[in-house]
Structure 1
Amino acid sequence: MINGWKVFLTLPRFLRTLTKSKSMAKKVKRDPNLVTEEYRYHWLQKRCRYFLWLFDIKLIVHNRDNWIDKGCLMVANHQSNIDPGILFSLNDFSKTAPCAFIAKLELQNDKTFKRFLTLIDVLFLDRKNPRQALEVMQEANELIRIPRTMVIFPEGTRSHSEEMGEFQAGSFKIAQKAHVPIIPVSIVNSYRVLNKKAKKRGRKYVHIVFHKPIKPDTFMTKPTDLIANNVKQIIQKGLDQFANVDDKKAYHEYKKELKKKS
């Protein structure tokens, strides 16, 4: 759960974040050129990191170098509302293509989320409308070529648990049509972040595992359900690998590695 003391101590910043996001969203809707894309992306990333701090989330990132420096399809499991923000906070714009997302249509009408999602590239998918889904896939292909890291959560909704739901195979057509690599990502333990019981655990540790990119030549002619199953198995391996580790120890080791690299 959110840390009330952190909100209290940074209340002016918290309120400015809400008001400025609303103001910028209005400008972008009126004319996207009124606020530069670079500014919007960097501003939102800083706010994502701020919200992760408010929730006491400690990220432990594995194999980050697997995030390649060109357009790709990033496929992750979906445990919590915080998952897109986690991936966005890790996006190094100087080394990797900026993230774009495919989100469910309902978020387009959510007053809280909408003001933030308007600032970056987000495509809203109506799962009940096959024609609109085709249009979204075409837009996704165009964004990847800019380039963008197109992020999808093929379960279609949050699992709220360690268990993954079924993958929607159709979303993998994006990688086939754009002829780009697929990067599977395992998000471990993020479902605990918004869980009231997690508050008793103290700090919250979330593992992010970037798996090796799957080259397009290896899946171009394969059925999408076979691709989906293969990617799901890879993501499951990451979930299994870090399900029962000493999170606190892993976090300190990760921070040491970051210091060495810097």
Structure 2
Amino acid sequence: MSRFFVNVYSIWAAFWFVFTFLLIFPFQFIFLQKEAWKPMAHRCNRVWAHLFFPLVGMPIRVRYEAGKPDPNQAYVFAANHFSYLDVASMMLIVDTYFAFLGKDVLKKAPLFGYMFSKLHIQVDRNDPKSRSKSLQRSYRALESGRSMVIYPEGGIRTSNPPQMHPSFKDGAFRMAIREQVPLIPISLLNNYQLLPDKKNMRLYPGSVKAVIHKPIETKGMTEADVENLRQQVFDIIQKTLDEYTANPKAHQNEFKRLTVI
């Protein structure tokens, strides 16, 4: 694929990203003013994703190992994180009301930062007080029936995708065990190929592909099980990434399209 085409496509996608976000933002702003309205703000994000991805010709395809997660059940979703596309695509991949646990630097982005800070949970990983506060907010979210989406690598930390950073943070696993809610691993198979984490970021055409794995029940688990649960999730995701890399065409008929295009 020529560099010229990729540059033009990237500019085209950036235009639609901004245009559709600005189109939706006034409605988001209204719904962010009251806690009871925030599920509607989340729906606005899903509407945005349903606009953006078809407009740039980027289908979202998901393979469910055990069917779609129950929308009435709170979960902790844990996924690998290699690309900034991971956040945007997750708005369609996870079809339930959820909060991201993300870095507090995101709130500095114009408009997007306002939305993120009001709707999701920020953490400064270098500040123990911030980490503690974010965990407490996450517990409350789960107790209210809202799911959590977390990238246990703690950001885009690997330099060699699809190999994940070898050390997962404990937060997602402590959270799921404390609240006794199921934990669902998610393998984001190829976002790093579509939007590589490089200095001069370029978006490449293609389909976003993800696998939503079977829920892991945490009922009966204690703090002593955190390490084993963390390793289990790491192994599930890494094995799936390795299998996809070795044979990208495997399971093709099992992927379901979540977008109109």
Report the TM-score, using the length of structure 2 for normalisation: 0.78
Q: Secondary structure at the match of 1:61?
A: strand
* Aligned residue identity for 1:226: N
Task: Tell me by how many angstroms 1:6 deviates.
Answer: 5.3
Correspondent of 2:139 among 138, 141, 158: 141
Say if 2:177 and 2:219, in contact at 8 Å, map to a contact too. Answer: no
Task: Tell me by how many angstroms 1:71 deviates.
Answer: 0.7
Match of 1:164 in 2: 164
Match of 2:101 in 1: 102
| 1:196-251 CA distance string (max 9 Å, x none) | 99979x7423321111111113632434233211210011121122223345x865
Say if 1:55 and 1:193, in contact at 8 Å, map to a contact too. Answer: no
| 1:24-60 CA distance string (max 9 Å, x none) | 565466x326x93343222211212333335543332
* Aligned residue identity for 1:114: G
Q: Secondary structure at the match of 1:48?
A: helix
Say if 1:58 and 1:203, in contact at 8 Å, map to a contact too. Answer: no
Report the TM-score, using the length of structure 1 for normalisation: 0.78
Q: Secondary structure at the match of 1:222?
A: helix
Instruction: Confirm or deny that 1:15 pairs with 2:13.
Output: no
Say if 1:58 and 1:206, in contact at 8 Å, map to a contact too. Answer: yes
Gaps spanning 5+ residues in structure 2: where?
1-5
- Say if 1:43 and 1:209 are closer, same or farther in 2 by CA, change over 3 A: same
Q: Distance in 2 between matches of 1:105 and 1:14?
A: 21
Give the superposed CA RMSD: 3.4
- Say if 1:109 and 1:117 are closer, same or farther in 2 by CA, change over 3 A: same
Indicate the structure with greater helix content.
1
Percent of residue pairs bearing the same amino acid type = 22
Say if 1:75 and 1:154, in contact at 8 Å, map to a contact too. Answer: yes
Task: Tell me by how many angstroms 1:88 deviates.
Answer: 1.5
Q: Distance in 2 between matches of 1:149 and 1:103?
A: 14
Task: Identify the range of structure 1 (126-135 vs 62-71) with the bigger mean alpha-carbon deviation.
Answer: 62-71
Instruction: Confirm or deny that 1:189 pairs with 2:212.
Output: no
Q: Secondary structure at the match of 1:68?
A: coil
Q: Distance in 1 between matches of 2:194 and 2:90?
A: 15
* Aligned residue identity for 1:125: V
* Aligned residue identity for 1:163: Q
Task: Tell me by how many angstroms 1:3 deviates.
Answer: 2.9
Say if 2:79 and 2:185, in contact at 8 Å, map to a contact too. Answer: yes
Residue-pair matches, total = 245
Q: Distance in 2 between matches of 1:57 and 1:141?
A: 34
| 1:97-144 CA distance string (max 9 Å, x none) | 412110011111122531442563x10011111122122111111111
